[in-house]
Structure 1
Amino acid sequence: MTQILQTIAETKEALAPIRGAQKASGRIVAGRIPVVERKLALVPTMGALHDGHRALIRLAREQADIVVVSLFVNPLQFGPNEDFDKYPRPFEADLAILEEEGVDYVFAPSVEEMYPDLEHLTIVSAGDAGRILEGEFRPSHFDGVLTVVAKLFNIVEPDFAVFGEKDAQQLALVRRMVRDLSFPLEIVAVPIVREEDGLARSSRNTYLSAEDREAALTLSRALVAVAAASGEGVSAALAAGREIYEAEPLASMDYLELVDAATFAPITEEFHGVALALTAARIGQTRLLDNRQVTF
């Protein structure tokens, strides 16, 4: 049965025996058989769970003995004109999914529990890499993401954490933070989960009207067009994707860019290797993201 944890103290207390077992692993404890090491996985989420989240949880379940999923809508990563207040919070439905997936613990803190002194909070900076692409349109967004992720890592102390590839820039920045701040854990990525028609699964898809839902396919279609035109060069590939946007009046493109998949630096016509095509757009009042690997 899934256990719900709402405070940092009770989370640390619940997970302490697992940590104790890991420290004792391989040694005789009080004359008993050596304890077998148990791996602990963390899947950070903001709730409103869908099949994309299920894919993250299932990978964690396959590779770990204990799975912790966080349900926390993080105010730090929302701008003043964004959807923090209306972001979906279907806690009971989320809990039913987590029970079904065999999750061991749910960490579902309040904002006050996570940030008791929000006005004077120490923030993790995403640096220059957090101010391009998404960061240009959502200033301080990635600082908020990295701050809450760092807190979750310190609270749960997982052996590995699972993230989706849909938020590609976020994934790259989390990996950089883990490296730069020497967090003793591994970051595991799961490919994008899509609907049958190609739309990337997202909690924000619930905002879309029937008309908007069809227009939302512009993101994935633009990325397919970029990949199809990659043989003609970088500029031609981007032009092909932007033509898809121009044909859909309900889609307002924020960006469509090609970057080096390893460094996130913009690529030039001379580039050879695997790039990421990244896009973000507003469909009505809903802002969506998508990306796709493209080989040049």
Structure 2
Amino acid sequence: MGKLIKGKPVADAITLEVKKDVEHLKQNNIFPKLKIVRIGEREDDIAYERAALKRMQTCDIACEVVALPAEISQEDFILKLKSVNDDKTVHGILLFRPLPKHIDEDKVKYIINAEKDIDCFNPINVSKVMEGDETGFSPCTPTASMEILKYYNVEIRGKLAVVVGRSMVVGKPLSMLLLKEDATVLMCHSKTENLKELTSKADILIAAVGKAKMITKDYIKQGSTVIDVGINIEQDGNLFGDVNTDDCLEKSGLITPVPLGVGSVTTAVLAKHLVKATKLSILY
């Protein structure tokens, strides 16, 4: 029987360290501040926003939300994002993605300063993730996955890690983070041939493909660690991951649930990155 490994203990440990850092910064008259920029009313964005606001409040970090209409023009959006970026009281910026189709990410991805880009949108930070340069910011969700693996003492070095998903938000950066820890990494996706054959060899399986309950017990190796990064909201409002947890639980060694898994750690990583950005602002 596998063991459910929840995110709360991991998030609590990170939050405790963040609170200590925030207290020290405030003693030196430095007041960390996060600004969240959201376009439209996507349910998953609003759910993450709510969780982020709660985490920042717990950490005593100031946080403001800039909610923009879904139909905002690219020109107006660029002006608003530049205004947020130029605000010297703001240390970190979280921009929800994907952006609406009428906004060209290539035209806006350099607007947020790399030092304020705490969720890895600016290509400078993307490059640092690829190079293993820890002075930048890796995306919060992949980083949360790594925090879970480390907290629960999952052996990574030399192990075969299979990542199902190739997005720039999760799959690709997570693969780089695993490589940095000396895992042997295989990146797959929804169009990979013989997917079950490949994933069933993984010591660590990361599901980030965006298909509810796609990963069943036939996809996993006996005793493996399964990290479910998927967030799928059905019409009735219920939340499911990419893994059929009930089906995989007995065969896995360790497995994260959805909800209460990776998502609960992501906001703690966001707070940790905000503190890091605040410290960087002192240096520049």
TM-score, with structure 2 as normaliser? 0.31
Greater relative contact order (Cα < 8 A, sep 6+): 2
The structure with the largest strand share of the pair is 1
